[in-house]
Amino acid sequence: MFLRLMILVLSLGLFAAPQRALADMALFSAQDGVAIGGYDPVAFFETGHAVQGSSEHVLMWKGAVWRFSSASNQMRFEMNPWAYAPMFGGYCAFAMAQGRLTTADPELWVIVDGELFLLNSPQVRRRWQAEAETLIAEARSNWPNALRR
């Protein structure tokens, strides 16, 4: 049934070429295949700290390995990964506001309105906190098109 539905969708041309190209791209920054430097994405929300994940609690999601500090955090992520995954693929959110992809430092992060933003330097973090609303809007306008550059 699913295969027939997909054939119908593709034959009707309901997916534009740019959408297909984007779907094939890795949406998350993953050095050595590991997302956000191996930090537990749930811990930012649950403990308020950057916590290294464990190789005992891992999950493959969106082309990257995600590590967690506990089975409980892994389960939370599995239930709703978009609630915990960093915005803009885990790239530096400040750089994304400028339309650039830059690796972020998971030790430098901010949660704004329930969304996790990773940054790349203490100076950028201070600026982000002072101008968050404007920078988030600019970053959203550049994401995910910056992946194509």
How do residues 19-78 score in pLDDT, each as one tens digit?
A: 334 444 468 999 899 999 999 999 999 999 999 999 999 999 999 999 999 999 999 999
pLDDT: is 20 or 118 the higher one?
118
Neighbours of 74 (CB within 10 A): 21
**pLDDT, position 2:** 34
Under DSSP, is residue 83 helix (H, G, I), strand (E, B) or coil?
Answer: helix
Task: Place 133 in a pLDDT band, splitting at 50, 70 and 90.
Answer: very high
**pLDDT, position 149:** 75
| pLDDT over 70 percentage in the chain | 83
Neighbours of 62 (CB within 10 A): 14
Which residues are bridge partners to 110 per DSSP?
117
Token pair belonging to 17: 């070429």
Q: 17-26, 86-95, 121-130: lowest mean pLDDT where?
A: 17-26
Neighbours of 73 (CB within 10 A): 24
